[in-house]
Amino acid sequence: MKKSEYELRKIYAGVFDKSTLLSLERLMRGGYLEELESMISTGKEANVYHGCMGEKEIAVKIYAIDASSFKNMEKYILGDRRFKTWRNRRQLVYTWAQKEYKNLARVHGFIECPRPHQAYRNILVMDFIGRDNIPAPRLKDSPPKNPKEYFNKIVGYIRGMYERGLVHADLSEYNVLNTGEKPVIIDLSTGVLLDHPLADKFLKRDIYNICRYFRSEGVDCDEKEVLAEVKKISRGNF
């Protein structure tokens, strides 16, 4: 641990509440985090930070307890048999962090996505996608050189997630990182199992978003054909 709890509190005073600071300290004691170094991105739901554990670069996603956008998250959790009900906003946010951890663990190794290391309360520790403290750009900011090939890779990822019993439920050019012409899927907190009551609707929306983006890049793609290709994959019980 390179920074003491006092130093950590001083650096992030006014950014994190006491509970989040204590959670960071616990992750440090557990060997999942050594130091937070810089901010990668900010959002309505969470901030993502670059950190390190020894020589390894990691990403630390911290969900804001009081973020107003969390009012829409219930539709992604209700109907998910993996999670119980919650009593308050804090428990809902903790469940959201666990949801992203479980979704990443479910599909990592089958698609390109960050490998999750640990989730504790409102904090998720995972692989850093980038190099030397510089995060990989989002697809919206870094269009592919070969759009058709790139499109086929993402469709393969959608198919891979479906085969593992998961639908991303918020897939677009905003949730794909472009790492040297290799897409990496991120932000899987919205992901739902196939038996979720809205899974089919979310899958169609994911495919629509991806086809919309790649049509703007000159790719001739048909949403119905992509949906049929994804659904024809045989799968087990998840």
In this structure, the number of other CB atoms found within 10 A of the CB of residue 131 comes to: 10
170 catalytic per annotation:
yes
The predicted structure's pLDDT at residue 84: 82
Cβ atoms of 62 and 47 closer than 8 Å: yes
Question: Which of 170, 195, 220, 222 is flagged as catalytic?
Answer: 170
Span(s) in the chain for CATH 3.30.200.20: 5-134
Residue 62's DSSP bridge partners are: 47, 123
Question: Does the 5-134 domain belong in CATH 3.30.200.20?
Answer: yes
The predicted structure's pLDDT at residue 206: 98
pLDDT digits (tens, 9 = 90+) for 26-81: 999 999 999 888 889 888 788 999 999 998 999 999 998 876 566 788 889 988 89
Cβ atoms of 41 and 47 closer than 8 Å: yes
187 catalytic per annotation:
yes
Whole-number Å distance between alpha carbons of 105 and 116: 6
The least confident of 116-125, 153-162, 225-234 is 225-234
pTM for the whole structure = 0.90
Share the mean pLDDT of the chain: 90
Span(s) in the chain for CATH 1.10.510.10: 136-231
Confidence of residue 124 (pLDDT cuts 50, 70, 90): very high
Write the DSSP symbol of residue 108. Answer: B
Percent pLDDT > 70 in the chain is: 89
The predicted structure's pLDDT at residue 68: 58
pLDDT for residue 201 is more than 60 = yes
The predicted structure's pLDDT at residue 44: 78
E-strand spans in 83-210? 116-120, 123-127, 130-131, 134-135, 166-167, 176-178, 183-185, 192-193
136-231 folds as Transferase(Phosphotransferase); domain 1 (1.10.510)
Question: Which of 187, 195, 206, 222 is flagged as catalytic?
Answer: 187
